Chain A
């Protein structure tokens, strides 16, 4: 990266892996089912000592850099295995540690199975918002999101989502993994039934060494086509029914704005993961690439967060266009796609300086979304 001017962007989002195990066995999970099996040796629960060390490091970072607001995501494994009361206490400890001038948005991202009415009240009472991972209707959810025994998780999650629908202030949204076998519009409408404030669609973890499922369909950009169908249903509604993060970020980038997600755009990634033992990791979806891809060799007990900011792998994700492959830099679409999601660029033996394995899909979605937006903008420009 010689010749590239880089100024570190302080972390503003902290993922706390409060529990390293899960009560489901989803077959596409990057934690347990893909390349990295290090969870087998990990501690099970984040101790109070690790939590306090994380809180001190976050507070120190917020003070040093004058950060006005930050986000803490309680994650796992399955974070609800810690219990709602302990999650609420964890949020309280973090909030107590940071300066009063810094606001802390706390989220828990859960599979929803353990989100009982009582748990929801406890979390909502502690000012924690809840995101649920869920793939749509019963058939779609049962395709991947089952207990290790094979039993369906659908009914429990459906109940949790109905509870959240009745507590909109605590409902952060739904994350859904795309499966080409599911009908795109039916999937979107199944999620919409719970009135989530936000939905996001995740592409299955894949890279050039482990291509996406369904690549043999003969369609050039099957995930792009799937997303275009949902985009048209979402964009065509007379009143926006929910926010779809992926689509909103694409539209904002097409209009010359900036992205707030690591999936598209060139904004610096400002997220750090505290593993269950207090070690610092990069975003842990990188586990899908190769064993050890997330490791930094740093931890909350001995290293401040500025040291993590200088880690080459963290720097790489804050460099913007300078970190893209020459193929991406020569394509004008890179202003919007940003080269695609970092883990999807990995090619064994060649690292991350490659286009996304979903390049054609991103291209299909972005050009389609831009086309619809441009047509509407042109209509506004017409004289009355």
Chain B
């Protein structure tokens, strides 16, 4: 239960080199769904808000 994150260099993942055709052709795996979601977020930008975690749905 350390209070420090020692692996402090962390880069976000860049998907800009992947073609849209490839991204849209991904399968239904968690990986494919994750990339589809980020594409949807880009297509329909909105101000995200954080929802309550003691309810699910």
Contact = CB atoms under 8 A, between A and B. Distances in A.
B30 to A, nearest CB: 5
Interface stretch (A139-147, A150-158, A234-242, A306-314): A234-242
A172 B49 contact: no
Contacts of B10: 331-333, 335-336, 366-367, 370
Interface string B11-42: 11111011000100001111101110110010
B53 A355 contact: no
A120 to B, nearest CB: 15
A13 B51 contact: yes
Contacts of A198: 56-57
A53 interface: no
B39 to A, nearest CB: 10
Nearest to A231: B30
Interface residues of B, number: 39
Given A255-B34, A333-B7, A267 B50 contact: yes
Nearest to B26: A380
Interface string A70-85: 0101010000000000
A41 interface: no
Interface stretch (A42-50, A268-276, A289-297): A268-276
Given A131-B57, A255-B12, A260-B49, A220 B29 contact: no
A297 B30 CA distance: 44
Contacts of B17: 381
Interface string A276-292: 00000001110000000
Interface residues of A, number: 82
Contacts of B48: 257-260, 265, 267
A73 B31 contact: no
Contacts of A174: 56
Nearest to B33: A240
Contact of A359 (B1, B35, B50): B1
B2 A377 contact: no
Contacts of B15: 255, 377
Nearest to A384: B22
Given A235-B30, A373-B34, A380-B22, A75 B55 contact: yes
A99 interface: no
Contacts of A261: 50-51, 53
B38 A252 contact: yes
Given A12-B49, A107-B55, A354 B3 contact: yes
B8 A333 contact: yes
A238 B53 contact: no
Nearest to A372: B31
A12 B46 CA distance: 13
B28 A357 contact: no
B50 to A, nearest CB: 4
B20 to A, nearest CB: 12
Contact of B56 (A173, A240, A332, A360): A173
Interface of B: 1-5, 7-15, 17-18, 22, 27-31, 33-35, 37-38, 41, 47-57
Given A13-B49, A75-B55, A370-B10, 20 more contacts: A107-B57, A109-B56, A172-B56, A172-B57, A175-B54, A198-B56, A235-B30, A252-B37, A255-B13, A256-B38, A261-B51, A265-B50, A267-B50, A328-B5, A332-B11, A336-B10, A355-B5, A360-B2, A380-B22, A381-B17
21 contacts: A15-B52, A131-B56, A173-B57, A237-B29, A239-B29, A248-B37, A251-B30, A253-B12, A257-B48, A259-B50, A260-B51, A265-B50, A269-B50, A331-B5, A335-B12, A341-B53, A360-B1, A363-B5, A377-B15, A377-B18, A380-B18
